Structure 1
């Protein structure tokens, strides 16, 4: 893979997933990323023992690895003048400064835009926030389950009134990881702009804004029609029988998304062994299928329930319509398309323990980005300080005073 970010240096003052995962992507693509961590505990993610669904493996912190692969780590006390001086000196050597600290915290720590630009006027300053840089909640923290999922309308869009609850996000860091891609893209655009014009910009991405963009088409329809995007009690999701999910004999599920129902109904009926349905006037064309959706769904549900998912994989292989097997995460990891495209990559911890991670979703020169492991806490601290010109006696003094780890 062409390391398109090679030569770009990023300074990160952030923790958890949303913002750190953005610089992890940049590291996958060749950037040098220096991560500043709390001088005693490190990134708060290092202390996370459970997602609430699954406990963390004892030999590798895979969630930390996901959002911190390929970085250098320096433990630093930013509340001290000496620690702040280190950050400012590092910023002077970097192309990008990346943070998820709230506005009041940035000001208190003296790492706000004006502070960092005073030491490097050409640096691209990047802020990842919960609700955006402006407005009444700009200075309030958040998580992806709140700002990206629920506040942006996704939870309500999936809620079924008959279930009596609003579903949560499907995975830990779900909105964080999507938001991280947005930040990474914004940074690359800002670097391109600086290269072309010589002007350094700021980049702002919020979980709320990213969630609203992800819901963009539903938002547009809702605002145009004055109707919220919500499920109707007991109602079907649309009127197209070829755009829904069906269960197989062995309890798996198939997803059909054939938006041109009239076009794909005849070949599907042939595959199902129900050629008699092609001439059925109830299903003569797309409009007829829409009008008689319930009848078609009942027929298809019965047909798909007659065979196993593997039998359907074989039978549907030549089907010209659009379909997929609904998979869980372990099945996704072994999906032939996942393997062929390198969408999952193998890594090793510092101790040599193997584990696998989702690869960066962008390939350059038709090669996947192979992630490197996350750093141990303060693994690169001494080397980073030495690069700044601090001799060992000075570094030792900083360690004794608790300024650096």
Structure 2
């Protein structure tokens, strides 16, 4: 994306995280924040900084690393003219402002296209650009997770309540990656045809896509997809090598060997039961499948006899598909993520080394090189000078309350 300029009029995580992905890929992303209040997410203290008194807040760094920040009060004509100057020199305009706000601030499609007919215009919405609820806002928990079907899909029957998202900005981050892909396709199309696109991605559509196979099956059979009951042991009725198995220290391993006949012998060797493939319960694939429940009990007993750490060592050479069930701190130190450069170092505003997860796409086996997110309106003067304004003009904008 080197040489691509993106102007972002957005806040919170959903759309700004798409800008962060493009910045990871080398784009020059200019984040426009309100001249007084900035991105509303800067005021969220509940996820805070990593250390008392620190200035590194993952809630801001995750969706805003690598950008430049400009403080503009777009309700003022002088600030709007600055934005239009930036738009004239940009390839992509991306926003998550509601339709009424876009019209009021004069940043809707027609407004921006009058300034730059060749720009790709991107709307990240809650519920889509059309339909009776198009003007409603939303966040990822209610819209992506709940309305998109994932909340019901992961809540086991009998649970007194509904399971929430596994982490903050979960749906936002998935939706943002979708936006980044849409922008990439639109840039490619413009290169081929000369025509700029209007790109739309909603949290609802991203949530439905994440849950697409369950929805597709429901369309066929007329029944909602339901989560499996909470369980340990096999979860496939005819395959003991699919399921969650508990270790002696109350950790879990997930087995997902969809071809039990192929992997059973190697698996039995790894659990010190080389005799099992000769057992009359499972000495053929047909018997293994027919007696899956009984074999799963044997496997569960064997795995429950040893601790999690021992199974990690033993299964390192296992041919079939499996994974340890990890928490977020363990994922942060996953050797494979780090070996492939998907956890990257970034220097914070105080000069301290920190780390962030990078976008999940690499080019030419080269990990992304990250820079910190901008402080509020940090690059206002720099961007204003790029637009041809001298110090006197910049001062006038600040005195008028149009720029920070």
TM-score under structure 1 normalisation?
Answer: 0.94
Out of 171, 175, 200, the residue aligned to residue 175 of structure 1 is 171
SS in 1 for 2:115: coil
Report the Cα distance in structure 2 between the residues aligned to 1:312 and 1:232, rounded to whole angstroms: 25
Aligned length: 399
Give me the whole-angstrom Cα distance separating, in 2, the residues matched to 1:76 and 1:389.
16
Question: Deviations along 1:127-179, whole A, 9 cap, x unmatched?
Answer: 00111111111111111111111111101011112221110100101111111
What CA distance in whole angstroms lies between the structure 1 residues aligned with 2:14 and 2:284?
A: 47
Q: For residue 309 of structure 1, report the CA deviation from its aligned partner.
A: 1.7
2:154 is matched with 158
Map 1:95-174 → 2, pairs under 5 A: 95-174=91-170
Contact 1:50 1:56 in 2 (8 A): no
CA displacement at 1:28 relative to structure 2 = 1.2
**Residues of 2 paired with 1:183 and 1:312: CA distance?**
39
User: Is 1:304 paired with 2:300?
Assistant: no
Q: Quote how far apart the aligned CAs of 1:56 are.
A: 5.5
- Tell me, in whole angstroms, the C-alpha distance in 2 between the residues paired with 1:185 and 1:251: 40
- For residues 32-43 of structure 1, what are the structure 2 equivalents within 5 Å? 32-43=28-39
Residue in 2 aligned with 1:367?
Answer: 366
Name the stretch that deviates more: 226-235 or 298-307: 226-235
What residue is the counterpart of 1:327 in the other structure?
Answer: 326
Aligned CA RMSD, in angstroms, stands at: 1.7
* Secondary structure of the structure 2 residue equivalent to 1:246: strand
**Structure 1 residue ranges without an equivalent (≥5):** none
Superposed counterparts of 1:45-84, under 5 Å? 45-51=41-47, 57-58=51-52, 59=54, 60-84=56-80
Q: Which runs of 5+ in 2 are unaligned?
A: none
Q: 2:236 aligns with which of 238, 244, 269?
A: 238
Kindly provide the CA deviation profile for residues 228-266 of structure 1, in whole angstroms up to 9, marking residues without a partner as x.
111356787432321111111122211110001122222
| Conserved 8 A contact 1:145-1:168 | yes
Q: Is the partner of 2:37 in helix, strand or coil?
A: coil
Q: TM-score, normalised by structure 2?
A: 0.95
Deviates further, 279-288 or 76-85: 279-288
Task: Check conservation: 2:49, 2:57, Cα contact below 8 A.
Answer: no
Q: Deviations over 1:50-71 (max 9, x none)?
A: 14xx875441111201110111
Once residues 29 and 292 of structure 1 are traced to their aligned partners in structure 2, the CA distance between those partners, rounded to angstroms, is 51
Q: Measure the CA separation in 2 of the matches of 1:313 and 1:385.
A: 55
